[in-house]
Amino acid sequence: MSSMSTTRVARAQGVGGLESPGQSFARARGTVRLLAWLDAFLAESLRRGPAEELGRSRVLAGANVVLLLCSLLFLLYVPRTGFPLSLALVGVACAGGFAASLVLLRRGTSLRLPGMLLCAILTGGFLAAGLLMPDPHVGTHAICMLIPILSVYLLGPRTGFIFAALGALGVGGVLPLWHRVEGGLWARSLFAALFILGAWALSWLILAARDQANSALVRALRSLRENESKLTSLLENTEDIVCSVDADGRLIAANPALEEMYRELIGAELSPGDPLFPEHSPERLRRRWREASAQVLAGKRVRFEASPSRLKRPRVLDISLNPVFDVSGGRVVGMTVFGRDITDRKEAEARLGEMHRSLLDVSRQAGMAEMATGVLHNVGNALNSVNVSVNVLAERLHQSRLPGLKKAMDLMASHAADLGAFLTTDGRGKQLPSYLQALASQLLGEREELLDEVRTLQKSVEHIKSVVSMQQEHARFSGVVERLELTALLDDALRLQAVSFERLGIQVRRDYLEGHHLVKVDRHKLLQILLNLLSNARQALVESGRADKQLTIRVERMVAERLRIAVQDNGVGISPEDAPRLFTQGFTTKKDGHGFGLHISALAAAEMDAFLSCTSEGRGQGATFTIDLPISGEENRA
């Protein structure tokens, strides 16, 4: 069953307690019978005519019947009053004219001629009776008001004015002159004539107002039909499920998409007036429907996702239930149900989530590579110091005077028997004590130099150990949210970039808040963002070619629960047209860039409940990247 037929059946049964057409017909049975009786006086063409013409034809038939009866009663009344016979002839002529008008209505195709005949007989008969009757007050009889009313309604304002003017002239002029009235009778006649003209004017205004209202109603109905046609076409052609249900859960109307799904889900056809989920439907569906409909009938809007297992093709549906209120807006009389298939969107979201996880893994690897680069810079610098120290030690040991000491000791050993005579009489023996004294002084100096180099070597080794230990510490806590000291992490990030900053002549300025500041973040992710920002700042400063390359790291308090890290440089800056796309994936202004770092940094910041942003005055004006971070619970309490 299509939605159009469903809608028609629902209208026939009545919705929300409104009176159905069958009930209205029962209440208006007497009116219908009267209209059917009047239609018996009309030709077939008049009965099938427009509603407005049919109404005029019925009024004309009823007026003819009523006036014909009045004429017959007048004929029965005349002989008993002693009025002249000519007055009876007027009654006969009027009765014949009204009967002729009925005949024309029954056989003709237009009500123009019968209407003209009725108005002419009514006006002429009234004036003739007024001339023939001896009573001068007959001109002010109430029947004279029928002349303007019927003539305007049946023939229109212009033609009706002719009959109204004739009636007013006869009542206000001809009849008073004929009966030679005087004084107050003239005034009554003139007032009667004015009332006839006033009745014509009032009938014209009523007719004009009705025509205008009918015209507006016709336009409204035409617009309503067009909108209804568009809405019906939209509902029938949409792939979304749409239906309306009354307050008792009975179906009012549904579109073909719901009917098709209903057959798969319930195994039955939709029928207006039946419960949307009957007793033979799955209990789980009926229970969920009762829970949702109870909330809707309480005036709430309910929205949820469902994946019915009984469908031929697995689908995810976004179901929305909305209450329908009565005219006063106080009582829920039904609900509308909308369902959209979001299976493709859910699959896309799953793929996007998987891609996001892959990007995070890649970003983590990129951050680890960036960190390793900084570590290698520092380790390489320390290794250079180690290499220099080792070379100095080797050279000092190679140039040592220890072989001379060995020779002196060998000489003394060869003269051990006469050592005293050798030292006092032999020329070489006499020089040996002074030589040993000088050698001892020189060896002490070499010892101090070697100890200095060993201490330098120890410092270099300790530096290498600290760099490696720091890298291992950051890697060990990756993915774990912890409370950490912000300035210490900033110093670690700067230490990893210190070698390249010093080599490139970049001056680093620290502007930290006083005191300890704990933040609750992922150490690895925040360090990854900082290293990326510092690397970008370094490249921007190198590209600018400035002699005064400056990099400022600031820590600011935003609100009670947030801290801000600002990385500011005086490098090449960012143009206004590039700023909106700065954090989008794939966008870069570097020749060898990949457009990946800032995008991943922004995603990582969002995962930590942080926010990464950038401001710049334009090209050549430098740039400032900011990270807004949540403060840990301990810092808030402090």
CATH of the domain at 632: 3.30.565.10
Average pLDDT, the chain: 79
Q: What is the pLDDT of residues 344-358, one digit of tens each?
A: 888 888 888 888 788
- Classify residue 332: in a domain, yes or no: yes
3-state secondary structure 504-572: HCCEEEEECCCCCCEEEEEHHHHHHHHHHHHHHHHHHHHHHCCCCCEEEEEEEECCCCEEEEEEEECCC
Instruction: Kindly state the tokens that stand for 522.
Output: 């992922």
Which position has the token pair 């001892």?
Answer: 440
Q: Are residues 155 and 219 in the same domain?
A: yes
- Classify residue 1: in a domain, yes or no: no
Q: Above 60 in pLDDT, residue 183?
A: yes
Q: Are residues 68 and 209 in the same domain?
A: yes
Q: Which domain holds residue 317?
A: 238-341
- Classify residue 16: in a domain, yes or no: no
Phi, psi of 276 (to 5 degrees): -65, -40
Among 265, 258, 271, 279, CA closest to 338: 258
Q: Are residues 93 and 206 in the same domain?
A: yes
Q: Are the C-beta atoms of residues 535 and 497 closer than 8 Å to each other?
A: yes
Phi, psi of 446 (to 5 degrees): -60, -40
- Classify residue 12: in a domain, yes or no: no
Based on the number of CB atoms within 10 Å of its own CB, is 35 exposed (0-12), middle (13-18) or buried (19 or more)? Answer: middle
CATH of the domain at 255: 3.30.450.20
Tell me the whole-structure pTM to 2 decimals. Answer: 0.41
Return the minimum-mean-pLDDT range out of 248-252, 355-359, 385-389, 607-611: 385-389
Residue 4 is predicted with a pLDDT of 38
Q: Which residues, listed in sequence order, are joined to residue 626 by a DSSP beta bridge?
A: 566, 613
Residue 377 is predicted with a pLDDT of 54
Q: Are residues 194 and 58 in the same domain?
A: yes
Q: What is the pLDDT of residues 484-499, one digit of tens each?
A: 888 888 887 887 677 6
Cα–chain center distance at 304 = 17
Q: What is the pLDDT of residues 436-475, one digit of tens each?
A: 777 777 778 777 877 777 776 776 676 567 666 656 665 5
Domains held by the chain: number:
4
Percent of the chain surpassing pLDDT 90:
7
- Classify residue 8: in a domain, yes or no: no
- Classify residue 15: in a domain, yes or no: no
Q: Are residues 417 and 435 in the same domain?
A: yes
Q: Domain ends where: 231, 264, 296?
A: 231
Q: Above 70 in pLDDT, residue 479?
A: no
Q: Are residues 388 and 370 in the same domain?
A: yes
Q: Domain ends where: 341, 366, 391?
A: 341
Return the minimum-mean-pLDDT range out of 208-212, 407-411, 445-449, 587-591: 587-591
Q: Are residues 522 and 467 in the same domain?
A: no
Q: Are residues 116 and 162 in the same domain?
A: yes
Q: Domain ends where: 204, 231, 258?
A: 231
Q: At 369, is the pLDDT very low, low, confident or very high (cuts 50, 70, 90)? A: low
How many beta carbons lie within 10 A of that of residue 240, not counting itself?
15
Residue 429 is predicted with a pLDDT of 73
Q: Are residues 378 and 295 in the same domain?
A: no
Q: At 134, is the pLDDT very low, low, confident or very high (cuts 50, 70, 90)? A: confident
How many beta carbons lie within 10 A of that of residue 485, not counting itself?
12
What residues have CB less than 8 Å from 216, skipping those under 6 apart?
Answer: none
Q: Are residues 176 and 261 in the same domain?
A: no
Residue 162 is predicted with a pLDDT of 92
Which position has the token pair 């994946």?
Answer: 307
| 476 or 585, greater pLDDT | 585
- Classify residue 11: in a domain, yes or no: no
Q: What is the pLDDT of residues 37-47, one digit of tens each?
A: 888 888 888 88
Q: Are residues 332 and 400 in the same domain?
A: no
- Classify residue 452: in a domain, yes or no: yes
| 614 or 478, greater pLDDT | 614
User: Which of 337-341, 387-391, 424-428 shows the highest mean pLDDT?
Assistant: 337-341
Q: Are residues 50 and 182 in the same domain?
A: yes
